[in-house]
């Protein structure tokens, strides 16, 4: 009988908690073995395993060993800021009762009085501080873990003083409290995103940040060993397919791993991926939406697809820090190759220069398709790769694309320059040298690191790109108008 440890949907534990030894050790060290680390933030992409890591660290044995009161609160289901604080106080009361420590009638009365306050006012703040003063007087050490902290943007939107109150409670040296905030954004990003303008220094008291990223090499070895324990040996080709579909993302790996074991490896991995893609697509869409919301989607696409028009080294460092991109073999990659391909198929409105380059590429692809349809066909590895790409688009994403649609701009430009006599009519019948530099410049800019250009474009390069794209457009448009051709919209 198969021992399928891959669990879906909820945070995992026990045999289902795979790898993560380094990150668990790091968090344990900061929480339990470092008196200076009192305020810690745990950051990472959605479903990357942040909550599972926290549960692994803050298990019952650890809490009992260190004699902490574990106050675990998720912001996901809280309706407003009052419920946020009341939930924390109720959890404190429950923990004290669990350890038979709620004997002081005055303390019990203090908690009950606080629960009757229905609005955020001076009395609310005073009573809350009195509760923590009483905990200090009784020598109770609290480990406050706040999950889904991103939601405080909505919870605290109208009462941004809550961020200050949380900062004061977490940073009070006199209080016996350690705080762990779990979120997919940085604390600074969360507090700067609220609707009411204000200056919050909450992020300043959370200097210790732990980034939960995808699996490392040791984690992946542990992942593959689970199949071996179920008498399933994955071939190198299957591992390549898994890498395309899932990268090293724990959620996606567990999702497909569950089906591989359930089917006893009888179903090809690409078929499993296709079968499950509607659910995977929901996850991709949620990531794309959140990146849009944070204004970082274009930054990610520029890193992964190129060119880097608006992204800075600071942006790249931030995306790397939350595991959204990873530098591998001199190239930035997204969490999975499949995610990058899916993002390319979406009609995403980005920076006007980016859109202009995209439209220029489309215009050039179309004139090759109309004038020299066999131009994309050859025996090269590039052609095989493009053909496989179109098959994936149809099988996985349900999108019909032609070779010309997925051809890199440099490939399209090389066809045009190689068959200039066929294509010069689109370029005012001028000689090849008049357009060669402009076309090749656009192709090189599309993937700058592959052509030894600066990773981040200069203003001069951006200006040249705009000029060249507009000239290419104008020339082709002129030909189309003269011949009543169908124009490709920008």
H or E stretch covering 74: strand 69-74
pLDDT at residue 299 in the model:
83
Report whether 319 contacts 296 (CB < 8 A).
yes
For 154, the token pair is 């909505």
pLDDT at residue 455 in the model:
56
- Residues 139, 24 share a domain: yes
Whether residue 286 is predicted with pLDDT greater than 60 in this model: the reply is yes
- Residues 267, 166 share a domain: no
Report whether 190 contacts 149 (CB < 8 A).
yes
Q: Give the span between the Cα atoms of 70 and 18, in whole angstroms.
A: 24
Question: What single-letter DSSP state applies at residue 248?
Answer: T
CA-wise closest residue to 310 among 319, 301, 318: 301
Whether residue 309 is predicted with pLDDT greater than 80 in this model: the reply is no
Point out which residues pair with 396 in neighbouring strands.
none
Residue 12 domain flag:
no
Q: Give the span between the Cα atoms of 362 and 409, in whole angstroms.
A: 9
Whether residue 249 is predicted with pLDDT greater than 80 in this model: the reply is yes
- Residues 31, 169 share a domain: yes
pLDDT at residue 348 in the model:
63
Q: Give the span between the Cα atoms of 145 and 40, in whole angstroms.
A: 10
| End-to-end Cα spacing for the chain | 57
pLDDT at residue 456 in the model:
65
pLDDT at residue 273 in the model:
87
Report whether 288 contacts 297 (CB < 8 A).
yes
Question: What single-letter DSSP state applies at residue 243?
Answer: H
pLDDT at residue 427 in the model:
92
Report whether 413 contacts 446 (CB < 8 A).
no
The least confident of 255-259, 317-321, 476-480 is: 317-321
pLDDT at residue 149 in the model:
93
Q: What is the dihedral of CA 387, 390, 396, 398, to 10 degrees?
A: -150
Average pLDDT (75-101) is 87
Cβ count near 115 (within 10 Å): 13
Number of residues that this document lists for the chain: 490
Q: What are phi and psi of 249, to 5 degrees?
A: -80, 120
Helix extents (H) in 44-121: 50-57, 60-66, 81-98, 105-115
- Residues 221, 204 share a domain: no
At residue 488 the predicted structure's pLDDT band, cuts being 50, 70 and 90, is very low
pLDDT at residue 148 in the model:
94
pLDDT at residue 23 in the model:
92
Point out which residues pair with 210 in neighbouring strands.
42
- Residues 363, 278 share a domain: no
Segment 186-236, tens digit of pLDDT:
888 888 766 544 556 788 888 888 889 889 899 999 999 999 999 998 999
Instruction: Calculate the average pLDDT of the chain.
Output: 83
- Residues 181, 95 share a domain: yes
Residue 57 domain flag:
yes
Whether residue 42 is predicted with pLDDT greater than 90 in this model: the reply is yes
Whether residue 452 is predicted with pLDDT greater than 50 in this model: the reply is no
**Residue whose tokens read 């052609």:** 383
- Residues 154, 81 share a domain: yes
Percent helix, strand, coil in the chain, to 5, is 60, 5, 30
CA-wise closest residue to 345 among 383, 301, 290: 301
Average pLDDT (405-432) is 89
**What are the helix and strand counts (H, E) for the chain?**
23, 7
Domains in the chain, number: 3
Average pLDDT (334-361) is 79
Whether residue 88 is predicted with pLDDT greater than 70 in this model: the reply is yes
Segment 119-158, tens digit of pLDDT:
777 888 888 888 888 888 878 788 999 999 999 988 888 7
Q: Give the span between the Cα atoms of 427 and 484, in whole angstroms.
A: 16
- Residues 57, 187 share a domain: yes
Domain, as residue range, for 436: 349-483
Report whether 189 contacts 20 (CB < 8 A).
no
Q: What are phi and psi of 179, to 5 degrees?
A: -125, 135
Highest mean pLDDT among 174-188, 422-436, 460-474: 422-436
Using a pLDDT cut of 90, give the percent of the chain over it: 21
Q: Give the span between the Cα atoms of 376 and 442, in whole angstroms.
A: 19
At residue 304 the predicted structure's pLDDT band, cuts being 50, 70 and 90, is confident
At residue 391 the predicted structure's pLDDT band, cuts being 50, 70 and 90, is confident
Q: Give the span between the Cα atoms of 377 and 363, in whole angstroms.
A: 19
Whether residue 451 is predicted with pLDDT greater than 50 in this model: the reply is no
Question: What single-letter DSSP state applies at residue 67?
Answer: T
Highest mean pLDDT among 47-51, 63-67, 310-314: 47-51
- Residues 407, 279 share a domain: no
CA-wise closest residue to 364 among 445, 447, 472: 472
Domain end (from 344, 375, 409)? 344
- Residues 182, 48 share a domain: yes
Q: Give the span between the Cα atoms of 223 and 256, in whole angstroms.
A: 12
* CATH code assigned at 144: 3.40.50.300
| Statement: the pTM of the whole predicted model exceeds 0.85 | no
Report whether 386 contacts 407 (CB < 8 A).
yes
- Residues 227, 203 share a domain: no
């Amino acid at each position: 009988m198969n021992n399928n440890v891959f669990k879906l949907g909820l945070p995992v534990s026990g045999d289902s908690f795979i790898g993560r030894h380094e990150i668990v050790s790091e968090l344990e060290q900061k929480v339990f073995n470092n008196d200076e680390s009192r305020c810690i933030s745990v950051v990472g992409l959605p479903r990357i395993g942040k909550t599972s890591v926290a549960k692994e660290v803050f298990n019952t044995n650890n809490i009992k060993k260190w004699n902490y009161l574990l106050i675990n609160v998720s912001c996901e289901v809280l309706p407003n800021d009052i419920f946020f604080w009341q939930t924390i106080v109720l959890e404190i009361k429950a923990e004290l009762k669990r350890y038979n420590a709620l004997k002081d009638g005055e303390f019990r009365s203090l908690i009950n009085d606080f629960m009757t306050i229905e609005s955020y006012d001076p009395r609310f703040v005073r009573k809350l501080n009195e509760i923590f003063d009483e905990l200090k007087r009784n020598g109770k050490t609290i480990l406050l873990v706040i999950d889904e902290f991103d939601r405080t943007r909505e919870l605290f939107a109208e009462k941004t003083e809550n961020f200050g109150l949380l900062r004061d409670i977490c940073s009070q040296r006199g209080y016996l409290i350690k705080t762990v905030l779990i979120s997919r954004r940085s604390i600074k990003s969360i507090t700067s995103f609220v609707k009411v303008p204000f200056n919050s220094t909450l992020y300043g008291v959370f200097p210790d940040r732990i980034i939960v990223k995808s699996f490392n090499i040791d984690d992946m070895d542990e992942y593959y060993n689970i199949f071996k324990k179920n008498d399933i040996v994955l071939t190198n080709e299957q591992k390549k397919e898994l890498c395309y579909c899932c990268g090293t993302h724990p959620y996606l790996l567990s999702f497909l791993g569950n089906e591989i074991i359930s089917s006893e490896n009888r179903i090809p991995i690409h078929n499993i991926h296709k079968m499950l893609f509607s659910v995977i697509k929901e996850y991709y869409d949620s990531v794309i939406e959140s990146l849009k919301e944070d204004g970082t989607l274009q930054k990610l696409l520029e890193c992964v697809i190129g060119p880097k028009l608006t992204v800075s080294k600071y942006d790249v460092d931030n995306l790397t820090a939350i595991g959204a991109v990873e530098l591998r073999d001199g190239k930035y990659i997204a969490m999975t190759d499949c995610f990058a391909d899916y993002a390319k198929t979406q009609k995403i409105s980005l920076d006007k220069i980016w859109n202009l380059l995209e439209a220029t590429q489309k215009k050039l692809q179309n004139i090759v398709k109309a004038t020299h349809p066999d131009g994309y066909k050859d025996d090269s590895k590039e052609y095989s790769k493009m053909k496989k790409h179109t098959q994936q688009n149809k099988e996985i994403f349900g999108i019909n694309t032609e070779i010309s649609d997925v051809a890199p701009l440099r490939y399209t430009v090389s066809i045009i320059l190689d068959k200039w006599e066929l294509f010069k009519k689109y370029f005012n019948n001028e000689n090849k040298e008049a357009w060669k530099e402009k076309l090749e410049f656009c192709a090189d800019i599309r993937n700058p690191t592959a052509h030894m250009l600066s990773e981040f474009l200069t203003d001069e390069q951006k200006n040249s790109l705009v000029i060249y794209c507009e000239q290419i457009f104008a020339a082709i448009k002129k030909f189309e108008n003269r011949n009543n051709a169908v124009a490709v919209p920008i």
